[in-house]
Structure 1
Amino acid sequence: MPPPDDRRHIGFLIADVARLMRSSFDRRVRRIGLTRSQWLVLSRLHRHPGISQSELAEMLEVERATAGRMIDRMERRNWLVRRPDPADRRINRLYLTTEAERVQAEMGRIAEQLLDDAMATLDDGERESLTDMMERVKVQLLGMGARRAEVEPARLPAAAP
């Protein structure tokens, strides 16, 4: 029996498409002076204004200290501001500045053009079907994660004898 063709395996295809999209987007936004970490932070704050540094770190899947350094650099560029949480003065909420919102808008135009270029061989119905299918898979995976957390209790280290 011949070995499976990784190029046709759906898991590899999804990973490859995501990697190629990120790489292509990186090249395109580099022209406007953005790094991957910067565009990730801008995107998250644009979609979730007022999140905390800890919440941002979780979304980016980085350590809080790493997120803090990114936030410091972006604050120095006048791309975000920290505002105290009215209910908890220990927490700062993060917001994009007007300048960063302009950069975010340009990023949005670049992203739309990239999607149009990447999906140029698909007609409108195929694009809609692909989106619907990917959305269903995402919902299924999210549900699986929630169910796993319910049935698999947190494992604590065994007590020392």
Structure 2
Amino acid sequence: MHYYRLATPEHAVQPRIPTSIRRHLPYLLARAYQRQQRLFEAHTRDFDITGRDYGLLLMLESNPGLWQSEIADLMGLDRTTVTYLVDGLQKRGWVAREPDPADRRAHVVTMTADGRTALESIRPAAAAAIDEVLAPLDETERDQLRALLTRLLGH
């Protein structure tokens, strides 16, 4: 005879993550990233934008006039992926791409006025996704997490 747990919420058992996996940082980072991506997609569904698109807009907001190769390096993406991202955002009128007058082999990407407007519209939904994923942490812990991840990425 087999016994099954009831699937009702009051009897639902949250499986425990074994210590061996809790100590496996790549697993934890990947799962946190996957959860953030799902929440970002849910919160920004009305804008039809990906996390990478949003990241690229944020990158251009802080660094206007980047070469596509610089965007690839800063975002940790290959250049072909960045080309596709820029193509998609350019079709929406959110970014402009022009040859660099100093180096015609390179293309400078800038955010348009429509891109800035879109970014401001999307920002609250993206922030809500971040707040949801970080909900278990207080403000000090959120700051610590950001600082630690920034240190890891900068090393």
TM-score normalized by the length of structure 2: 0.71
For the structure 1 residues 135 and 75, does the alpha-carbon distance in structure 2 shift closer, same or farther, using more than 3 Å as the test?
Answer: same
**Cα deviations by residue, 1:112-139 (Å, 9 ceiling, x for unpaired):** 22233333344xxx32234225413532
Q: What residue number does 1:115 align with? A: 130
- Count residues with an aligned counterpart: 137
The 3-state SS of whatever aligns with 1:90 is: strand
Matched, 1:89 2:111: no
RMSD: 2.6
Contact kept? 2:89, 2:95, Cα under 8 Å: yes
Structure with more contact order per residue of length (Cα contacts < 8 Å, sep ≥ 6):
2
Deviation at 1:141, TM superposition (A): 5.3
TM-score normalized by the length of structure 1: 0.68
Q: What residue number does 1:64 align with? A: 79
Contact kept? 1:119, 1:127, Cα under 8 Å: no
* Amino acid paired to 2:103: D
Deviation at 1:91, TM superposition (A): 2.2
The 3-state SS of whatever aligns with 1:91 is: strand
> When you count strand as a share of all residues, which structure comes out higher?
2
Deviation at 1:140, TM superposition (A): 4.9
The percent identity for this pair of structures is 25
| Runs of at least 5 residues in structure 2 that lack an aligned partner in the other structure | 1-17
| Runs of at least 5 residues in structure 1 that lack an aligned partner in the other structure | 144-161
The 3-state SS of whatever aligns with 1:120 is: coil
Contact kept? 2:43, 2:128, Cα under 8 Å: no
**Cα deviations by residue, 1:132-160 (Å, 9 ceiling, x for unpaired):** 254135325533xxxxxxxxxxxxxxxxx
